[in-house]
Amino acid sequence: MSEPVSISRRTVLLMAVTTGVIVANLNFIQPIEGLIATDFQLSKAAVGVLAMLTQLGYAFGLLLIVPLGDIFDRYHLIQFMMGLSIISLLVAFLAPNAAVFAVATTLIGITSVAPQIIIPYAGFLAPSLQRGKVLGTVLSGLLTGILLSRSFSGLLGSLVPWQAIYLIAAVLDLLLLAVVHWQMPRDARGHQQLNYIKVIRSLPHLLTSQQPLQGASLNGFCMFGVSNVLWSTLAFYLADQYHLGSNVAGLLGLLGIAGVLAAPMIGNLVDHRSPRLTLGLSIGFSSLGFLIFWLIGHWMLGLIIGIVLLDLGTQFSQVSNQAIVQSLNRQQSSRNNSVFMFSYFLGGSLGTMFATWAWSVAQWAGVCWVAVGFLVLSLIGHFVLRAPERLVDPES
């Protein structure tokens, strides 16, 4: 299969917007955990489990659904998953109790995997010398969706019943589905003659046979774990330390705009310098962010600086790792992405679980110790599973 000549800016923008809108579904719960706990009469640890279920569901959706991108026409698969995601959001809106909401939030995670089908599709369509830049732009949309979802959810949670957030999201996703149907590029590959069971069975081999994939998976596990250590407990910390509500937690999410603006620059660094360099920077920024949280997080200025640094670290990690993963093999790009993102969101779900448990035991100090564990593991992986100094062209 020949290398693509170009990918239009309109296509890249559509992919960026689509990934951002859909990934937002995963993060609505974080700023409104306190509201959900009050409404369903749950403990903070229990509502933390609900947030974990969303990410755990997403991890298994990545493992079992995203590989279908190497089998089926991605144009149709993206739309099918968007439709299922809309249904899951409506179930969350109508949930009468915590048990039904737990099922709904798990389904939201499982079905909101279209961004991870779009990302390898963008890498597939982009020429090799533009791949880092294109992926950086698409991932800017992803990060924008994450940070705006927190602000959207936190602010609306202070104005309307929290359930309405899921209804509004379902309507927005439905409108976007119509745009995707008319404007997303058709998949020139069509359906592939691959067996689903064989594809799933190939995933462990892909991980064990590709050291760059191992390194990217471990770094993503740790960096997204660290990110969720903060975002799963920030609402609790604001209420305890500052007596502030979900609206402020949502506003602080806007600080991630630094990561959004940096993403194309990070992509260029990956293309023209070294992904190993940018992954080292991801660990450095995240470590510095949590050091500031630990030392001066009780001051709002310290909290703000730490959030900016942590989001920069998360974005350096995501763009660098995606560029590495999409440089491995174009014919198995969805499966490689599935392995990487499963590890990524497994780290996120464990970060959420451990952080909410640590908060109940030792509050903010316990949360920071959990982050230290993830950061130490990421540093070990950085030196043992060395990231490539330069990206290679994927097999055609």
Residue 71: pLDDT above 70?
yes
pLDDT of residue 224: 92
Count Cβ atoms below 10 Å from residue 277 Cβ, excluding itself.
15
Mean pLDDT in residue range 77-100: 96
pLDDT of residue 391: 65
CA distance 47 to 232: 10
Residue 396: pLDDT above 50?
no
* Residue 373: partners with Cβ closer than 8 Å, 6 or more residues away: 354
Q: What is the pLDDT of residues 342-366, one digit of tens each?
A: 898 889 889 988 998 999 899 999 9
Among 44, 45, 51, residue whose Cα is nearest residue 239:
44
pLDDT of residue 2: 47
pLDDT-based confidence at 6, cuts 50/70/90?
Answer: low
pLDDT of residue 392: 62
Structure tokens at 64: 């079992």
CA distance 145 to 316: 17
Q: What is the pLDDT of residues 155-188, one digit of tens each?
A: 888 889 999 999 999 999 999 999 999 998 887 7
CB 14 within 8 A of CB 115: no
Q: What is the maximum span of the chain, computed from C-alpha positions, in angstroms?
A: 58
* Choice between 150 and 108, residue whose per-residue pLDDT is larger: 108
* Choice between 211 and 192, residue whose per-residue pLDDT is larger: 211
pLDDT of residue 216: 93
CB 266 within 8 A of CB 319: yes
Mean pLDDT in residue range 59-84: 89
Q: What is the mean pLDDT of the chain?
A: 86
Residue 234: pLDDT above 50?
yes
CB 352 within 8 A of CB 57: no
* Residue 53: partners with Cβ closer than 8 Å, 6 or more residues away: 102, 105, 106, 109, 349
Q: Where are the domains of the chain?
A: 9-181+209-384
CA distance 268 to 132: 6
pLDDT of residue 193: 67
Residue 227: pLDDT above 50?
yes
Residue 199: pLDDT above 90?
no
Facing residues of 329 across strands? 395
pLDDT of residue 334: 76
* Choice between 288 and 8, residue whose per-residue pLDDT is larger: 288
Q: What is the pLDDT of residues 254-295, one digit of tens each?
A: 777 776 777 677 777 777 778 888 899 999 999 999 999 988
Residue 301: pLDDT above 50?
yes
* Residue 363: partners with Cβ closer than 8 Å, 6 or more residues away: 237, 240
pLDDT-based confidence at 124, cuts 50/70/90?
Answer: confident
With 0-12 / 13-18 / 19 or more C-beta atoms within 10 angstroms meaning exposed / middle / buried, residue 342 is: buried
* Angle at CA of residue 116, ends 100 and 375, nearest 5°: 85
pLDDT of residue 246: 65
Q: Is 281 left (phi over 0), alpha (psi -120 to 50) or beta?
A: alpha
pTM of the full structure: 0.74
Residue 63: pLDDT above 90?
no
CB 170 within 8 A of CB 89: yes
Query: In CATH, which of 1.10.4080.10, 3.20.20.70, 1.20.1250.20, 2.40.110.10 is domain 9-181+209-384?
Result: 1.20.1250.20
Which three-class secondary structure string do you get for the chain? CCCCCCCCHHHHHHHHHHHHHHHHHHCCCCCCHHHHHHHHCCCHHHHHHHHHHHHHHHHHHHHHCHHHHHCCCHHHHHHHHHHHHHHHHHHHHHCCCHHHHHHHHHHHHHHCCHHHHHHHHHHHHCCHHHHHHHHHHHHHHHHHHHHHHHHHHHHHHCCCCCHHHHHHHHHHHHHHHHHHHHHCCCCCCCCCCCCHHHHHHHHHHHHHHCHHHHHHHHHHHHHHHHHHHHHCCHHHHHHHHHCCCHHHHHHHHHHHHHHHHHHHHHHHHHHHCCHHHHHHHHHHHHHHHHHHHHHHCCCHHHHHHHHHHHHHHHHHHHHHHHHHHHCCEHHHHHHHHHHHHHHHHHHHHHHHHHHHHHHHHHHHHHHHHHHHHHHHHHHHHHHHCCCCCCCCCCEC
Mean pLDDT in residue range 371-393: 85
Residue 309: pLDDT above 70?
yes
Facing residues of 395 across strands? 329
* Angle at CA of residue 173, ends 168 and 177, nearest 5°: 150
Mean pLDDT in residue range 302-317: 91
Structure tokens at 203: 């995933």
CA distance 143 to 57: 19
Mean pLDDT in residue range 66-76: 86
